Amino acid sequence: MKNQKGLFGDDTTPWEQDDAQTGLVASVVMSTGPEKAFDYLVPDELIGEILPGRRVYVPLGRSNRRVMAYCVAVERKEYGQRKLKHVLAALDQQTLVSSHMLNMTQWMADYYLASWGQVLEAVIPAAVRGNAGTREVTLLSVPPQVAMQLATLKLTDKQQKVLTTLAAASKPMTPGDLADKCRVTQAPISTLRKKKLITSEVRRVSHAHFDDLDIERESAKSLSEDQAAALQTILAQVHAPQPKPILLHGVTGSGKTEVYIQAIQNVIDQGKQAIVLVPEISLTPQTKQRFASRFDRIAVLHSHMSDVERHWQWKRIASGIVNVVVGARSAVFAPTPHLGMIILDEEHDTSFKQDSVPRYHAREVAAKRAELEKVPLILGTATPSLETFYRAKQGQYELISMPRRIGNRPLPAVRTVDMRYDKTTGYRGAISRQLYQSIQRTLQQDGQIILLLNRRGHSTHIQCPACGHIVKCPHCELPLTHHITDGSTVCHYCDYRSTAPRVCPDAKCGYSGIRFSGIGTQKLEQEVKAKFSSYPIIRMDSDTMKKPGSHEAALEKFRNQEVRILVGTQMIAKGLDFPNVTLVGVINADTALHFPDVRAGERTFQLITQVAGRTGRGDLGGEVLVQTLSPDHPAIEAATRHDYALFAERELPFRRDFQMTPFAHMVRIIARGPAQASVELFMQQVGEEIQRFTAEKGGEISQQGPAPAPIEKLRGNYRYHLLLHSFDRHLMRAAVLHCREKITVPEDVLWIADVDPIDMM
Ligand code: ADP
Ligand code: ZN
């Protein structure tokens, strides 16, 4: 017989009771502390209030600490001989999580190796949990039997006045309002409440209100042949009993948004709601407008929202009033009561993966939600992730291709500029002769230009030519970047800042000719200003775009052609639709190419293809120049031809041979701590434990590492990682759980497991 003592902190010995007991049992999970679910009895007075998807208070442990928990199931059942404690109270009057969402969060917890409680905590915004924008008010009223005998009561004048005023009021009043109206203090009101001549109740009211966007209406476009075919395929899935996810692979400018919009219209016509997920960076006014100009009652969820507004939007969505929810990653949890479709635009975008617990990917969560709620999921992109593309090839997803641009506009011609040759001439700038000539020609022809450089700051490398000393972050040991705007050197990983050195900081050297080299967007901006001084230019990177609204303001200047040249990091590579952009220059295509990351080639292909897609969108045509030191690299070559199929054809066999994603599953284990030796030792233990476990189970998990992570030190912590690959996802999961249970983690080490990792640094 299993002794339950200790688990629940109960003092009864189970064998004292022999009868199996039956009762209403609530299972709850907690967001911190123990991972497992606990059972509690629902006392009679709380029946109907304790429901799945609501928060409750329960006693925990020997001390019966009162803790908050999420109720995930309520069931009348036999609970054997255990002595169950009682739920103490209900915290929510409304259900926060529907049964579908409970299933989905349970799946997430399992898949991403997180606790269910943690997942629920992440799914329900803090603003909703904290009831932001609402407050509790006490409302007073006079019971009818009191009101009938008002005249017979013996009261002071003030009490009399209060009671008659309240009895005559059309609705309950707060103590404050009542006192104001009668020009009295709280004293007579309190006395009346004590005498039970006035009753009170506490209610939560919202004081928030946000107006709907007021945006000019646009009508539906008549679809191109490709769009019409795409819409038909989608609608067939809308009406399927168990719809298949759809990959909408459409080249840049093929008109994917119009397809989404007409598909959503169909969903709304059936009285259902649609969720549209976009990368955070694409949540621009242009995106909002595209949807708001076509639909009533949309809710846009973004990260700059106040808690009050977030709570208000959540409630609107939950009430079913909202037709279309547009938002970044976490909008996949929007509490739409009758979901009809999920759209995930730019499905390849890495911002859909969350880099804190639970480390979910919105695309996978969306696929699960779509499956549970039996609605279609549309994944749109010009450059599908190989994961999605592979599933489509396997027939798991429906594939729609839109290989042509709207109006049969040609895709822009892409040329590479081999920067290796420029080196021999001693040329040190960012802009090659060819690119210089193209910029000049474009400016003369009144065109606009986008220049992409995926490195912010001025000089990305500060080194003493005398002793070779490289200026690095003291906490991360990574090279600092010089920011000319404030004369500082900045660590791009931990934001450590110091003043730029004038002489070599190495005390033994002190040489005065310290060299700033490597090109960031600030230096590029300077070079462009020097070379094309009569043309206005704007720089967009996370340094210039710190203030809310600056992103929109910059794009507006570019849209109305006040600015002719736009310089920026990858934030300018996506989604922009400006017909007057006739030249795109990629300053250095190789920035991501040599990262120790299985997706380095894929990222490079995506970035070039996406930024190239920003041009040739009008009648003026377009041209793209890609500066690179690796013009023959397959990813760059495929991108210059706009040839996704070619890219995938070359990349997939390589991934298969090395047992990598999308063929095998991957889990990345990262450990960090201030003492290098202890982190290293711990990771070796993890590696060995996994090996032992796998051998015992007779399965196969291949390991890369453990080794120092590409970012070896971050904020004073040494970092090691271990990559696990396997065809058997469940085995890997079991192996990680086994390590969690088996290995004692040193106090100064923290470790995490990232399932389907994206970030390899
Ligand atoms: P994508 O997202 O595939 O890159 P967009 O949705 O941005 O493409 O569409 C490109 C451009 O074509 C936009 O300016 C859009 O308004 C326009 N467009 C889309 N569909 C049509 C259509 N059926 N007729 C005319 N213009 C269209
Ligand atoms: Zn740092």
pLDDT score for 284:
77
Does ligand 1 lie within 6 Å of residue 615's CB atom? no
Bridge partners, 250 (sequence order)? 402
Closest ligand to residue 497's CA:
2
C-alpha 288 – ligand 2 centre gap (Å): 36
* Burial grade of 129 (CB within 10 A; 0-12, 13-18, 19 or more): middle
Q: Which of 223, 226, 257, 264 to mutate to test the pocket of ligand 1 (most atoms within 8 A of CB)?
A: 257
Does ligand 1 lie within 6 Å of residue 752's CB atom? no
Is 504 strand, coil or helix?
coil
> Which ligand 1 atom sits closest to the C-alpha of 256?
3
State the sign of the Cα–Cα–Cα–Cα dihedral 143, 149, 155, 158: positive
Does ligand 1 lie within 6 Å of residue 442's CB atom? no
C-alpha 670 – ligand 2 centre gap (Å): 18
The span from the CA of 65 to the CA of 59, in Å, is 5
Does ligand 1 lie within 6 Å of residue 258's CB atom? yes
Q: Are strands 377-381 and 339-345 parallel, antiparallel or unpaired?
A: parallel
C-alpha 355 – ligand 2 centre gap (Å): 18
- Of all protein residues, the one whose alpha carbon is nearest to atom 10 of ligand 1 is 253
Residues in the chain, pLDDT under 70: 1-19, 132-133, 206-214, 421-428
Is 313 strand, coil or helix?
helix
Does ligand 1 lie within 6 Å of residue 577's CB atom? yes
Helix 644-657 to helix 600-612 angle, to the nearest 10 degrees? 170
Closest ligand to residue 489's CA:
2
254 closest CA partner among 554, 602, 644: 644
- Of all protein residues, the one whose alpha carbon is nearest to atom 20 of ligand 1 is 255
C-alpha 711 – ligand 2 centre gap (Å): 10
Going from the C-alpha of 568 to that of each of 450, 519, 630, the distances in angstroms are 8, 12, 22
Going from the C-alpha of 103 to that of each of 30, 91, 142, 585, the distances in angstroms are 16, 21, 46, 47
pLDDT score for 547:
82
User: In this structure, what are the phi and psi dihedrals at residue 733, rounded to the nearest 5 degrees?
Assistant: -60, -45
The span from the CA of 613 to the CA of 317, in Å, is 34
Report the helix count and the strand count for the chain, using DSSP H and E. 22, 29
Closest ligand to residue 294's CA:
1
Going from the C-alpha of 544 to that of each of 549, 553, 594, the distances in angstroms are 11, 11, 27
Does ligand 1 lie within 6 Å of residue 257's CB atom? yes
C-alpha 544 – ligand 2 centre gap (Å): 20
Query: What are the tokens at 446?
Result: 């009144």
Does ligand 1 lie within 6 Å of residue 221's CB atom? yes
C-alpha 565 – ligand 1 centre gap (Å): 23
Does ligand 1 lie within 6 Å of residue 255's CB atom? yes
Strand boundaries in 339-446, DSSP class E = 339-345, 377-381, 398-402, 413-418
- Of all protein residues, the one whose alpha carbon is nearest to atom 9 of ligand 1 is 255
Mark out the alpha helices in 270-384 (DSSP H runs): 285-292, 307-319, 362-373
C-alpha 672 – ligand 2 centre gap (Å): 15
Does ligand 1 lie within 6 Å of residue 227's CB atom? yes
pLDDT score for 16:
45
Does ligand 1 lie within 6 Å of residue 383's CB atom? no
C-alpha 404 – ligand 1 centre gap (Å): 11
C-alpha 493 – ligand 2 centre gap (Å): 5
Q: Which of 406, 574, 609 to mutate to test the pocket of ligand 1 (most atoms within 8 A of CB)?
A: 406
Closest ligand to residue 494's CA:
2
* H-run or E-run covering 436: helix 433-444
The pocket of ion ligand 2, defined by CB under 5 A, consists of 473, 475-476, 491, 493-494, 496
> Which ligand 1 atom sits closest to the C-alpha of 227?
23
Q: Are strands 324-327 and 398-402 parallel, antiparallel or unpaired?
A: unpaired
Q: Are strands 246-250 and 377-381 parallel, antiparallel or unpaired?
A: parallel
Does ligand 1 lie within 6 Å of residue 609's CB atom? no
752 closest CA partner among 714, 703, 719, 715: 719
Print burial letters for 530-550: b (CB count within 10 Å at least 16), e (below 16). Answer: eebeeeebbbbbebbbeeeee
Does ligand 1 lie within 6 Å of residue 406's CB atom? yes
> Which ligand 1 atom sits closest to the C-alpha of 252?
4
- Of all protein residues, the one whose alpha carbon is nearest to atom 26 of ligand 1 is 406
pLDDT score for 561:
92
